[in-house]
Every structure is written in C-alpha cells, then in structure tokens.
Structure 1
Amino acid sequence: MKKNIVVTGTSRGIGYQLVALLTNAGHNVLALSRDAAPVSGMDITNCHCFSCDITEPGDIKRAAKFVKETWNHVDIVINNSGYLISKPFAKLKYDDFKTSYEVNVFGAAMLTQAMLPFMKKDGHVVNISSMGGVRGSAKFAGLAAYSSSKGAIITLTEVLAEEYKETGPSFNVLALGSVQTEMLEEAFPGYKAPLTAKEMARYIMDFSVNGNKFYNGKVLEVSSSTP
C-alpha cells in the first residue's frame, strides 16, 4: 500500500538512498535536507523536496504546511538527519555540543511534533540513532557530543512511545552500527564499514513500513558486530 513518508537528511548517504528506494517502491516522499539539489536531480514525480533546516522553526512550519495542503496525512516519519563531530573532549566547544543536540535531538523532536497532527494510530515514527548511544555498548574516544546526543534520541523515543501508546503513532529507534557514508568517511578517514548506505537504507525502509506491526518503544540494534 502506498504511504506518505517524510524523510530528513536526504542530501547524501542513507537518506539519499532511502528516497530512491521508497519512491521506486511507489511511496510518496517528502525529502527534507538543507541541500535539496541532490534529490531534486532525481526528477521523481512522487518525491517532493525543498531546502529545510530542521533546526529552524520556520523551515519546519513550511514542511507542515506542505503536508496539510498536499497530502493531508502522514504515514511515516524517518528522522534520519545526523551531525557527527569527532574531537577530543577537552577540545569540544559549546557550539559543538549545541549543534550535535540541535540536529540529532531537538530538530527531530520539533519535526515530529509538527507532523503528529497529520498521523493516525497506525502511523510510525522511526528515529535513527547509533550504537554509540546505546547503554552498555562500546564507546569511542572523540564522540562525546555525538554519542551522548544519540543516547538522548533513544530515550526520547521511549518516552513518546509511552505517551502515545493509546492513540498512536508508534515510535521506534534504530541504533545503527558503522555504515559506509560520507559522514563516516569525514569523521574517520580510511575506515571501511561492513555495510553500504544502500544496504542499510533498504533495511530501514522495510522496518519503517512494517516494523510498527511488531514493535513500539523499542531500541533495535542494527549492527553486524558485537559491541
């Protein structure tokens, strides 16, 4: 069945691959990222995109306005936008933490809040976190801002699942292991991840469409390694 799906962080990596896979599967997609050019270049009729910074309230209002005027309802929200900075803790500045939380937590929260009025009980909000944000997993030096913010989005997901358990939608979070994306390459030059962005995007697509039938308020660790 065709779904109306909002995806953030679509200019590259997993988000970009998600747009291609979802539209090829026949779903309607609203692709949101600060740089709309890559997705615009796809020239796909069932994909709408415009420049959207999820840390800017005005941009989130534009996204909600589009949904209200064009779709009227949303089936799935995939909060995929991410910001990663790798720097020793002693050198991290306030702005490093601020940007990490604005993108990885606050922006996802505000976009979700804006989309909830258009979602029904069978809707699904999927937040993308990281294994680095999972309690008890292996942690890596230099990722204090990134991993702590990814831990925060996990807790937020659990709280929202409880708050909306009677009315819906469902809320789940995928804690991803390493994936070969531009963001990973920038943070860890030369590191080779076991999965491509397209492989992970395919998993996220399948889970987003079907996962709420089986899960709510769950943290699923999507990693081929044992932390």
Structure 2
Amino acid sequence: MSKIVITGTSRGIGFEMVKIFAEQGHEVLALSRNNEPVKKLSLDQVNALAFDITNVSEIESVGKWIADRWDSKVDILINNAGTLLNKPFAESTMEDFSEVYKVNVIGVAELTRQLLPFMNTGGHVVNVSSMGGIQGSMKFPGLAAYSSSKGALITLTELLAEEYKENGPAFNVLALGAVQTEMLEEAFPGYEAPVSAEKMASYIANFSQNGQQFYNGKIMQVSNSTP
C-alpha cells in the first residue's frame, strides 16, 4: 500500500485517479482548490484538502500534514494540477502569463521541494505536461502561455532527475495529447478529444507505480493523435 499525493483532484484526470488508487487500497492525499467533489466520494483512506498551489503557506501546511499523519512518508507525487489559457498573444498580459506559470511551473516546483524530504530512493514524482510543450510538436494559436509553461515543466523534470539521481526519487514527465476533460471543454468548446479522462487516469496511475523501475528524467509522449 503506497502513500500517494495528487494535485488537481476536483475534476477530470485527477478526480479519476483518486478513485482508481482508492480502489487499489492505497492511501491518497487529494489536493485541490475545491475539495468537495472528492470528499463527497467518502472513500476510505482518501483525505481531501482544500489547497491553492500558488500559496506558499498552504504548500507548507501540506508538508506538516504529511509529517503528522503519514509519519513523514510519501511514495508517489503526481503533479497533475494545471491551468489552460486560450487567448491571443497580443491580448495576453504579464498577469496572464504570471498566473499560468504560477500554477503550471512555480507551484509545482515549490510543492515538490517541500515534499522531497519525505520521499526515498524508490519514490516517484510524475509531472503532467502537454504535447504543446514538446519542441517540434504541433502548436496552436492562443496557447503561448500554456504551452510554454508546459515546456518549462518538462525541462524542470529533467533537471530534478539529474540532481536527485543518486538517492532518488525518480522524476518523469508525461506529455499528454488532448484528453476529454472539463478544462479542455472550457478552453475549446465543442472539441472532442480522442481519449477520456478515465482512460488517461488509468494510464497515469499505472505509470506512477511502475515507471520509476525503467525510467528517470524521461519525457513520455502520451498521445495517439498529436504529431
């Protein structure tokens, strides 16, 4: 039984992963600004905390919770929380870019930094990025802030894997193609993605438990459609 921390759990892929891990009998700490959806599931061994990844004091409180409730141990950290801005570059402000980077990069870096003391050599940090952050992949107008932040997350993952390669944990990043989530629907109304949130959640859940045996510092392109 593993102790698993997941961010962005109020809906979509994160919400589905909580259910998958709970079904498998793992202990889960679900972090999201809105913790009500997970709380309503009333799942054994699942704790849902209201959490803002851009708030340093709230990130620190997560570390204190783990120290108190989980005896300072985390096996898997899945940085799934993200925000997507679809806006023409000419209309995008410094504040727009700052908000996207705070959620998609800076908050991820700080939460990871706070939880690393609780993780050992066999641990696994999985960062959820996007095909939009892959150099040479298809790019879309309006996603300058989002895709560039996901590219930064990919590079951050590679750097942390190198820095912690001696004593762990392992760091890997999944660059996802389009997945049918509420966030995608809000940014691209009417678009139908080829993969459901449930299927992607199942893939990520499995990779998070086994991928560190084979990979470290790797970018896995998880897409059957995006070149």
TM bucket normalised to smaller: over 0.9
Matched, 1:141 2:141: yes
- Counterpart secondary structure, 1:32: strand
Q: Aligned partners of 2:45, 2:99: CA distance in 1, in Å?
A: 32
Structure 2 letter corresponding to 1:126 = V
What amino acid does structure 1 have at the position aligned with 2:168? G
The normalised TM-score by structure 2 is: 0.99
Q: Which amino acid aligns with 1:51?
A: A
2:65 aligns with: 66
Offset of residue 224 of structure 1: 0.6
Q: Which amino acid aligns with 2:28?
A: V
Give the distance between the partners of 1:62 and 1:28, measured in 2 at CA: 18
Deviation at 1:50, TM superposition (A): 1.2
Alpha-carbon separation, structure 2, partners of 1:126 and 1:89: 29
For each residue in 1:93-122, what CA deviation from the matched residue of structure 2 results, as whole angstroms up to 9, or x when unmatched?
Answer: 111100110000011101100110000000
Q: CA deviation at 1:26?
A: 0.7
Partner of 2:41: helix, strand, or coil?
Answer: coil
**What is aligned with 1:183?**
183
Q: Deviations over 1:114-144 (max 9, x none)?
A: 1100000000000000000001100000000
Match of residue 195 from structure 1: 195
Separation (CA, whole Å) in 1 of partners of 2:224 and 2:17: 20
Runs of 5+ consecutive residues of structure 2 not aligned to the other structure: none
The amino acid across from 1:195 in the alignment is V
1:217 aligned residue:
217
Contact 2:131 2:226 in 1 (8 A): no
Per the alignment, in what secondary structure is the counterpart of residue 82 of structure 2? coil
* Residue of structure 1 equivalent to 2:9: 10
Query: How far is the alpha carbon of 1:69 from its aligned partner?
Result: 0.6
For residue 225 of structure 1, report the CA deviation from its aligned partner.
1.2
Is residue 2:212 matched to residue 1:207? no
What SS class does the counterpart of residue 174 from structure 1 fall into? strand
Secondary structure of the structure 2 residue equivalent to 1:41: helix
Q: What letter matches 2:36 in structure 1?
A: A
CA contact (8 A) 2:2 2:27 kept: yes
CA distance in 1, matches of 2:26, 2:210: 13
**Aligned pair count?**
226
Per the alignment, residue 22 of structure 2 pairs with: 23
- Distance in 2 of aligned mates of 1:96 and 1:198: 30
Partner of 1:46: 45
- Length-normalised TM-score, structure 1: 0.99
- Name segments (4+ residues, structure 1) moved above 3 Å: none
**Which residue type is aligned with residue 168 of structure 1?**
G
Q: Check conservation: 2:3, 2:76, Cα contact below 8 A.
A: yes
One-letter code aligned to 2:26:
H
Query: Residue 193 of structure 2 aligns to a residue in which SS?
Result: coil
Q: How far does the alpha carbon of each residue in 1:56-91 deviate from its partner, in whole angstroms, 9 at most, with x for none?
A: 011111110111011120000000001001011000
Supply the distance in 2 between the matched residues of 1:50 and 1:82 (Cα, whole angstroms).
17
Identity percentage of aligned residues: 59
Residue 7 of structure 1 aligns to a residue in which SS? strand
Alignment partner of 1:135: what SS? coil
Counterpart residue type for residue 56 of structure 1:
N
Offset from partner CA, 1:21-69 (integer Å, 9 cap, x none): 0111111000000000100101112101110001101111111011101
Match of 1:151 in 2: 151
**What do you get for the CA RMSD once the two structures are aligned?**
0.6
Distance 1:75 1:114 in 2: 14
CA displacement at 1:226 relative to structure 2? 4.3
Instruction: State how far apart, in whole Å, the 1-side matches of 2:162 and 2:118 are.
Output: 19
